[in-house]
Structure 1
Amino acid sequence: MKLQDLDIIVTSPPAPGWGGRYWILVKLTTDTGITGWGECYASSVGPDAMQAVIKDVFARHMQGENPENIELMFRRAYSSGFTQRPDLTVMGAFSGLEIACWDILGKDRDRPVHALLGGRMNDSIRTYTYLYPQPGHDISAFWNSPDMAAESAAEMLRRGYTAVKFDPAGPYTIRGGHMPAMSDITRSVAFCKAIRDAVGDRADLLFGTHGQFTTAGAIRLGKALEPYQPLWFEEPVPPDDVASMARVAAAVNIPVATGERLTTKAEFAALLQSGAASILQPALGRAGGIWEMKKVAALAEAYNAQMAPHLYAGPVEWAANLHLATSIPNLLLAETIETPFHSDLIRGSIKVENGYITLSDAPGLGIDVDEDLARAHPYTGSGLHLEMQEAPCDYVNGNAFQGGAPSPDQTL
């Protein structure tokens, strides 16, 4: 069996666009006629340029190869071109293609991917969700409203979720770390208080920051949040500043979580060695694929750290995350996004029930991709999957973060 053909679909979720502006799906076919699906979570170049990278990585390192030889193909992609270091764009391309190889292998052997990774360690996977606007909420006002966030948290609790994530401390800027405005700290405390009051001790609070603060600024903010006992303080400083993240972890009594922008075991190992994070959040469509993150999970286990696979993409990466989560002993949580488009794109083949997911024993990734639906929603914009703002932190008028992707002003 050899990898023969590649097809790429760039699909765009309908407004309000939870999961990003577009998802890059890859479909591999072997010379024996088996197809496998993967997803490339990469946003450092636009989708047209990224398709060219994916095609090059496939043709150069994978086409004609047995899909079993994942280690060999990884080393080719990682090392060729005299690199041998993490590369966000190349690894983003390889990751989606690697996921598709596992889908093929599972289908060829009539076994689920998690069975090929060491078997079922976790029958049930605890999941979490971002807090999104609910019916009746004004989308533009939601992101700065502690009361609406608390209402959303109460609804997620009603649905069975035991952990909710929110991010009221914006902005994300291209300028690197900044000192938070006092109004940002006040608003963040108000969010934590309102959500804690809404869920009590029945759900964990996951505080997202995504790399926008200086070390001192992150410590100031983290200290203010400590009374509300968040389960994690997510990426408090820029993701490549491991030493500063370790200083935040030592100074703030909230576990630090990070990893959605990192790739390969080289970057994750540095976090563990420095004590910068006790919760790792790889996005499998970017970080090197399923096998590479199985290695990272083993590294984390040796450091008594936990895994919480990240999702701000489509349901194919979600499926890959969940197969890894099913197979590892040090799982904390797995992120999920519930929208009709996410569900319809895989024809409802993975379901969240009372905040938990149990994967079936269906072969491969166990998903049924609606290829026609994916092609019916092509991405026609010019923006990247996610983007940072150029304007600096506003210390006069305050800051408003509009969620993970732009959305029209409307009431749900």
Structure 2
Amino acid sequence: MSDRIRSIEVFPLQIPRETPYLGPLEAGVVPSPRGYFVRPGNQTLYSIHDHSLLVKVTSEGGVVGWGESFGVVAPQVAATIIDELFAPLVIGRDPHDVVAISEDLYNGMRVRGFFGGFYVDAIAGVDMAIWDLRGKLTGLPVCKLLGAQRHSRLPVYVSGLPRATLPERAALARDWIDKGFGAVKFAAAVAHEGEVAEIQAIREAVGPGPKILADLHWRYTDQEAIQLITAMEPYGLYVAEAPVQSEDLEGQARVAAAVKTPIAIGEELRTVYEYRPRFVHRCMSIIQPEMAHMGITFFWQVCQMAQAFHCRVMPHATIGIGIAQAASMHVSAALQNFVMHEYQHSIFDRNLRFVTGTMRCQAGYFYLPEGPGLGVAPTDEVLQYVMGE
């Protein structure tokens, strides 16, 4: 008889940090009393803290699975959704029916049109935790449950150069290359001298070999993006990410057709329903699915659809303690269209102390955590950062 799900618990986290994500605050930017602020460069809400939401699923036999929902801001919202709506629908279910459970949760709000946002983020954490539980019950890592372990280590690109000035950011890029990494990505939102100046300085610092990616943060119209990407191409631009606003499918397709550089999109998307029209209209050649938005079930579905459209996969990595990161690595290890993974060094390295296991990043590679399920679990230390406690 299967070991059914007995309980679901949620733990919204707030972990202080000295320097906000993406670097120091711009002049005139003042955080709210709760620590939230908007980056002028991309008009996006951030926190001065690291936030996340841990999800714990326990079986009737006492076996525990862990997941992590997207919780960069207001993680209590997804926590409430899980407590109020999901728990009664999941408790008592067979964890080996995880795909059906995630689809049932999604369908539960379908007629209300709530096909994204905090609701699907909440599903992601529950889904991850149940997959982890399945692995613990079977003694298998998640990638094996998906049917393929193609890699034990995954190539990465260094994401973000959180320094105040352009010379400092270029020097930091060089530092990473000297450590054995082969690719870096800069953020347009904090490229205050302009993206062309940014890539020029980085290229001069790192030399001709390393790959340089640019995150354009949905800042431009299609014509502006085409001009900008074309201007950066002489400096060996490897990938241009999120060139136009997410809603502008036609603009995404025009940019992808007009430039030589591969276009990558998708970190803000959550389901095959959001990805499908972008595949059909050839809006990108690379997808960047975010595990904490999607969970393993939806992430896997999207990556299989990408294979059918001959798109490559370079997963996004958000703020978190590492549970979602481990899940993303397990799915990546099972993919034949995987290229490399985002490495959020300013988050991953400092928060790695909050998880157990062998997961690590060294000299340009993530190393897949060993053991059943996801191969990681929160330490007792991280629970001191549960909000409201």
TM-score tier after normalising by the smaller chain length: 0.7 to 0.9
Distance 1:169 1:23, change over 3 A: closer
Q: Does 1:167 align with 2:187?
A: yes
User: What pairs up with 1:333-352 in 2 under 5 angstroms?
Assistant: 333-338=340-345, 339-347=348-356, 349-352=358-361
Of 286, 306, 314, the residue aligned with 1:308 is 314
**Which SS does the other structure have where 2:275 is aligned?**
helix
- Pairwise CA distance, 1:131: 3.0
Distance 2:230 2:168 in 1: 24
Distance 2:95 2:112 in 1: 23
**Which SS does the other structure have where 2:228 is aligned?**
helix
Distance 1:226 1:340, change over 3 A: closer
Distance 1:256 1:161, change over 3 A: same
- Pairwise CA distance, 1:201: 3.4
Q: Could you say which residue in structure 1 is the equivalent of 2:236?
A: 229
- Pairwise CA distance, 1:84: 7.1
Distance 2:147 2:204 in 1: 41
Distance 1:189 1:28 in 2: 47
Q: Could you say which residue in structure 2 is the equivalent of 1:369?
A: 378
Of 83, 91, 103, the residue aligned with 1:55 is 83
Alpha-carbon contact 2:143-2:330 (below 8 Å) kept: yes
AA at the equivalent of 2:312: Q
Alpha-carbon contact 2:369-2:375 (below 8 Å) kept: yes
AA at the equivalent of 1:367: V
Q: Could you say which residue in structure 2 is the equivalent of 1:175?
A: none
Q: Could you say which residue in structure 2 is the equivalent of 1:331?
A: 338
Distance 1:346 1:201 in 2: 37
Which has the higher mean CA deviation after the structures are superposed, 314-323 or 159-168?
Answer: 159-168
Q: Could you say which residue in structure 1 is the equivalent of 2:115?
A: 86
Q: Could you say which residue in structure 1 is the equivalent of 2:6?
A: 4
Q: Which has the higher contact order (CA 8 A, sep 6+)?
A: 1
AA at the equivalent of 2:4: K
AA at the equivalent of 2:383: R
User: What pairs up with 1:211-290 in 2 under 5 angstroms?
Assistant: 211-287=218-294, 289-290=295-296
Q: Does 1:124 align with 2:153?
A: yes
Q: Does 1:73 align with 2:101?
A: yes
Identity %: 29
**Which SS does the other structure have where 2:301 is aligned?**
helix
- Pairwise CA distance, 1:169: 4.5
AA at the equivalent of 2:374: L
Q: Deviations 1:212-262 (Å, cap 9, x if unpaired)?
A: 222222222222212122221111111122121111111222111111100
Structure 1 stretches lacking a partner, 5+ long: 134-138, 172-183, 381-412
- Pairwise CA distance, 1:34: 0.8
**Which SS does the other structure have where 1:69 is aligned?**
helix
Q: Name the TM-score, length of structure 2 as normaliser.
A: 0.85
Distance 1:158 1:86, change over 3 A: same
AA at the equivalent of 1:119: A
Distance 2:89 2:224 in 1: 43
Q: Could you say which residue in structure 2 is the equivalent of 1:201?
A: 208
Distance 1:210 1:249, change over 3 A: same
Distance 1:265 1:203, change over 3 A: same
**Which SS does the other structure have where 1:56 is aligned?**
helix
Distance 2:328 2:292 in 1: 9
Alpha-carbon contact 2:13-2:75 (below 8 Å) kept: no
**Which SS does the other structure have where 1:22 is aligned?**
strand
Distance 1:340 1:78 in 2: 33
Distance 1:211 1:311, change over 3 A: same
- Of Structure 1 and Structure 2, the greater strand share is in 2
Matched length: 355
Distance 2:139 2:118 in 1: 32
**Which SS does the other structure have where 2:194 is aligned?**
helix
- Pairwise CA distance, 1:86: 2.6
Q: Could you say which residue in structure 2 is the equivalent of 1:108?
A: 137
- Pairwise CA distance, 1:170: 5.5
Distance 2:20 2:382 in 1: 14
Alpha-carbon contact 2:102-2:297 (below 8 Å) kept: no
AA at the equivalent of 2:382: A
Distance 1:95 1:109, change over 3 A: same
Q: Could you say which residue in structure 2 is the equivalent of 1:98?
A: 127
- Pairwise CA distance, 1:17: 4.5
Distance 1:49 1:368, change over 3 A: closer
Which has the higher mean CA deviation after the structures are superposed, 91-100 or 78-87?
Answer: 78-87
Q: Deviations 1:188-219 (Å, cap 9, x if unpaired)?
A: 11110111122223321110012122222222
Distance 2:75 2:85 in 1: 15
Distance 1:283 1:197 in 2: 31
AA at the equivalent of 1:343: L
Alpha-carbon contact 1:169-1:187 (below 8 Å) kept: no
Structure 2 stretches lacking a partner, 5+ long: 23-46
Distance 1:348 1:69, change over 3 A: closer
Q: Deviations 1:354-379 (Å, cap 9, x if unpaired)?
A: 11123244111011320x22221244
**Which SS does the other structure have where 2:317 is aligned?**
coil
Q: Name the TM-score, length of structure 1 as normaliser.
A: 0.81
